[in-house]
Structure 1
Amino acid sequence: MEKYWNWEGNYIGVRQKDYLTACDGIILGKFYGKEIYDQNGNYIGEIGKNNRLIKNKTKENFRRPGFSFYVKGTITAPFKSCDPYPMIPGYEDFLR
């Protein structure tokens, strides 16, 4: 399983099939390539450098098909936070 942290270095969760799953099993989003969309189909972020998640402000209005709110992931152990990266202009941190 791929593990993901946000740009600030906070642990977010893991990839389970096509879904980004928090350690408590809650589905945070679905992957479409490197982009991630929530259950309503709204863009919420993407994979950046070293599997860090970040949100491109220019993509805020991007949409994909939504998916079931009944999808659940496997519960996994949380991981420690890591050092933050400097923020890139035009982006903001991926928030859970």
Structure 2
Amino acid sequence: MPWIPIKSADKLLSSQILKLPEGKVLRVESFKGDRWFEVKRNGEEFEFSEHGYRNVVFKVKKEEVKETVKRIIEVEFPRSHQLRVSLSS
């Protein structure tokens, strides 16, 4: 899943994050690659790492994933039309 449209990004990313296996990292970045966030699963919690306008690391529960993804997209990618998505270990 290399490029996804920003309009449907929150739904697509939320479903991918909830299915994320332990030890894998989902990275979402802007076209230029200067702003990004990564998500890593730790049991029932998900660790989000933002890099761009805000440089923070925090954990959320399964129920908060969709809201968190939507908020991060609004903050980190306000003018983007597409996002690059990659999965690594």
**Structure with higher helix content:** 2
Which protein shows a greater Rg?
1
Q: Of the two structures, which has the highest relative contact order with CA contacts closer than 8 Å and spacing of 6 or more? A: 2
Q: What TM-score do the two structures reach when normalised by structure 2?
A: 0.31
Q: TM-score, normalised by structure 1?
A: 0.29
